Amino acid sequence: MVKRKTDIWLYFEVLPAGSSNQKTINVRCKFCKSVHAKNATRMKSHLQQCTYVPHMIKLKFNILTPKSKGNHSKFPFETSMKKTTSAKLDNDNTDAACTSSTVSTASTSASDNIHVETPVYTKINRIQSFCDRMTHEQNNELNILLARAIYTSSAPHSITENEDWKLFFKKIRPSYTLPSRYMLSNRLLTEEYERVEVQVNDKIKQADNLSLQCDGWSNLRNESVINFIVTTPEPLFVKSVLTKAEKHTAEYITKLMVEVLEEYGPKKFFAIVTDNAKNMRKAVRQCEEMYPHLVSYGCLAHTLHLLCSDILKLSSIETHLPHIIHIVKTINQCQVLRAQFTEIRNEMKCRVSLSLPVKTRWGSHVKCLQDLTKCKSVLQRLAISPDKTIQDRIRSAKANLLDEGFWINSSALVELLKPITEAITRLEGDSSSIHLVCETFAKIGSNISTHLECVKLKDCEKTEAMDKFISRKEYALQPIHFAADVFS
């Protein structure tokens, strides 16, 4: 009788012989496609170790052997029968000698045609015996992903040295080895920079048309920095220059601009965008002389921010703003007032906090005004509090808080400036919005004409505000904006 093949062959395919002289027959795993010699034992061993094999198939071939711990019986079924018979006799209070006799009869009664089927034991892996393993490549891949998350979230590099973070990762993946602080600050950071640099260069090479954006500011260490961004139209950060002791002359800025233009090909660029500083405007004109095909225009977000500043500098408004700032500081800088303000705010289910304007933060003056007007009821309740301590601390701001004219003027200022700050948010986004510029200025002009009448201003101040708007509009709108508006 031909011996039946085991089920192990279901998961391998026999490969044809490469030549007539080949003695060894090879088989290929159907899961991972690896090639092995035709040997059932080795094939079974491969299935148990292959990571592509389903868990149920591994269990099928993971059979307990007679060498299992605590089992010294010659036959794998004998121990089971002893246990079963022993348990049965214990229940019936039978003598132990009968147990031996019964087992002996069951195991040696082949002449009586008694067939005992040998049970197949399947080994079940428990979670306690599971051993987590990870290759060097897998560990490095996780290091890269973790490093990227740390860089993009501005988390400290020392996070991987914190004992609680170590415990957290140990629970998630015991075999994973966290990168050191040194590795995050050196090799992984360099590799991530190179990866992003390659991506940026590829996107710029694939783009047909480019524009260059240039802006100067100070970093956290108060060092002078000039940044360059190339738009495809997707904005891509390409260069940051620490100017150190170098003066920001037009010639110096022109030199930096030319370096970027030449690096990526000046013929692919069609526009340069800068702020309204005189040195920037002069540098752009020099670039236009060197590359006649270039056009230039000012940063629209910066221009609208300057328009906001122009309106805030009107005498009547400039007198009104200090009262608002004084109220905010009075509340925020006094622990008693701040605690009482928070209590009343929570009671009235108001979720707005008071904020101060920041000179370099676009729209922060409008936000300060908005927050104050939204907290009107809370502040007025605070102003009439019977508590003597609160009355002593809020006395300097109480008159304005209870003056309805003060609130009407503040609300009118919000309505006047809010469309400008909303336009800044819309135009400074990453999406292409050059076709919206003409429409945006038309709406802002209409809003200013309407709401100037609601703000407490002199006639000469209203005229000055409109003149400032027209001046900013004429500077901002260039032929390229009108063309974009037509084609949109």
CATH of domain 208-298: 3.30.420.10
Rounded Cα–Cα distance for residues 339 and 337 (Å): 5
* Range 10-16 contact pairs with CB under 8 angstroms and sequence separation of 24 or more: 11/43, 11/47, 11/53, 11/57, 12/36, 12/43, 14/38
pLDDT in tens, 205-254: 999 999 999 988 887 788 889 999 999 988 999 999 988 888 889 999 99
Domain ranges of the chain: 7-61, 136-193, 208-298, 305-487
Rounded Cα–Cα distance for residues 265 and 258 (Å): 10
Residue 54 has pLDDT above 90, yes or no: no
* Range 110-118 contact pairs with CB under 8 angstroms and sequence separation of 24 or more: 116/77, 116/81, 118/75, 118/76, 118/77
Residue 101 has pLDDT above 60, yes or no: no
Tell me which of 90-94, 200-204, 387-391, 440-444 is least confident: 90-94
Q: Extract the tokens encoding 101.
A: 């006799």
pLDDT at 380: 94
B/e letters for 131-165, b = 16+ CB within 10 Å, e = fewer, are: eeeeeeeeeeebbeebbeebbeeeeebebbeeeee
